[in-house]
Structure 1
Amino acid sequence: MLMISNIRYQRFVQSPVRLLIIRNWHKKRVQVAWKKPEMGWTKLNFDGSCKETGQGSIGGVLRNHNAEFLFGYAESIGKTTSNIAELAALRRGIELVLENGWNDVWLEGDSKALVEIIAQRRLVKCAVAQGHISHINLMIPELNNCIVTHIYREGNRAADKFAQMGHKLKKPQIWRGNPPLEVLSIMHEDAEGKVFLRRRKA
C-alpha cells in the first residue's frame, strides 16, 4: 500500500491542480459544534453582517443550559464595516443581558480578532470601534461571571441567521420565549449537538 501511495503521489505532482488535492489531504479536520453552557449560566452567541453595499446588520441569541431559547435580537444598523457590525452585535447583546438580569454569561462569536481584543482589553485605532469596545469593557464588570470565546462559523449559525434577518428589518426587533421559524431547525440541531467538520491547515 505504501508503494502504491508513493507512486500516486509522484504522478499527481505533475499537475498543479492535483497537487492542490494532495495538500488538502494534509489538512486537519476540526469538529465544530455549539456547546451548552453550564447550569445557571446563559450563553450569548452574537454576529454582525455587512453586505457589499456596506449595509450592516446585527443579531444574537441567548440560550440556557438546556439549550432553550431565551431571546433573540436583530437590527439593521446602516452603513458600516464587518468589524463594527460584530462589535455592535456584542454590545447590543450585553445590553440586553443586563436589562434582563442574567449574571453568569458566556459570550461567543465567530470573529477571532474581536474576541481577542475584548478578552485582552486591547485598544484599536478606529474611533468608532474603540467606542464600542470601551462601552463593552464597562458593561462586562457588571456581570458576576463572564466567559468570552471564539467559535467557528459553523457553530454560530443561529446568531448568523438573526444577523441576516436584520437586513430586512426597518426597526430593531426582539423575540422572547419562542424563536422565529427561520432559526428553529438550527436551534434543534445545536441542542442535539450536531457536529460539523471544518478543514484547516495543519
Structure 2
Amino acid sequence: MVPATLHADGGARGNPGPAAIGVLLRDSEGAELDTISRSIGETTNNVAEYTAVIEGLKLAHARGVTDLEVKLDSKLVVRQLNGEWKIKSDVLRGLAVEAKRLLNRFRSAKLEHVARGKNSDADKLVNQALDAAQVGELGAQWMPPDEEDDGRPKPGPGQTSLLD
C-alpha cells in the first residue's frame, strides 16, 4: 500500500483568461513527492481546476500511489465528481468522465473540499506558472531612456568622458 495526498488547484486570470495548474503530491508523512506548475493556455477557472485534478491523478498513478486523498478548494469540482451536483457544461462533463476514469485506477481515492488556506501550496504553484507565462509573453521590454539620457555610454566610477 502506497498512500499519498494530492493537493490540486487551477486558476485563470480572467474567466476565461490565461490559466495554470498547480499540483502537489505528498507521501503519508507529508514529505513532498512531486509537483506540477504549468500554464495551460486560455480557459476558465473550472476547466483549470478539473485539469489540475486530472494531471495530479496521472502523476500519482505514475508514482505508484495506491490509496489517495485528493484535496481541492473547488467545491464545484468535488461536489460534481462525488455525484452531488449536476454537471451542466459539456466541457466539464467530459473532464469529469476523464477524472472518474483516473480515480478508478486507485484501490481507494477520496475527494475532499478544503478551505483555500489549506490548499495554499498548490495555489502558489498556480501563481508561479501564471507569472512565468506572463513574463514569457512580455519578454524583454524596451524601456524609454531617462530624459537626461542622450544615448551615449556613461563613464563608470572614477572615469571621465572624452565625449563632453
Matched, 1:138 2:138: no
Secondary structure in 1 matching 2:82: helix
Superposed counterparts of 1:58-137, under 5 Å: 58-120=21-83, 123-137=86-100
Secondary structure in 2 matching 1:101: coil
Give 2:102's aligned amino acid.
Answer: M
Pairing partner for 1:148 from 111, 128, 131:
111
Task: Give the match for residue 50 of structure 1.
Answer: 12
Give 1:100's aligned amino acid.
Answer: R
With the length of structure 2 as denominator, give the TM-score of the two structures.
0.75
Matches of 1:121 and 1:95 in 2, distance apart? 24
| Contact 1:57-1:77 at 8 Å conserved across structures | yes
| Contact 2:2-2:64 at 8 Å conserved across structures | no
Q: CA RMSD for the aligned pairs?
A: 1.7
Larger radius of gyration: 2
Matches of 2:100 and 2:84 in 1, distance apart? 7
Unpaired segments ≥5 residues, structure 2: 134-164
Q: 4+ residue stretches of structure 1 with deviation over 3 A?
A: none
With the length of structure 1 as denominator, give the TM-score of the two structures.
0.61
Matches of 1:80 and 1:66 in 2, distance apart? 35
Larger RCO: Structure 1 or Structure 2 (Cα < 8 Å, ≥ 6 residues apart)? 1
Matches of 1:71 and 1:141 in 2, distance apart? 21
Secondary structure in 2 matching 1:142: coil
Kindly state the Cα deviation for residue 168 of structure 1 after the two structures are TM-superposed: 3.8
Deviations 1:82-123 (A, max 9, x none): 111100100110011111211100001001121011112755
Q: How many residues align?
A: 132
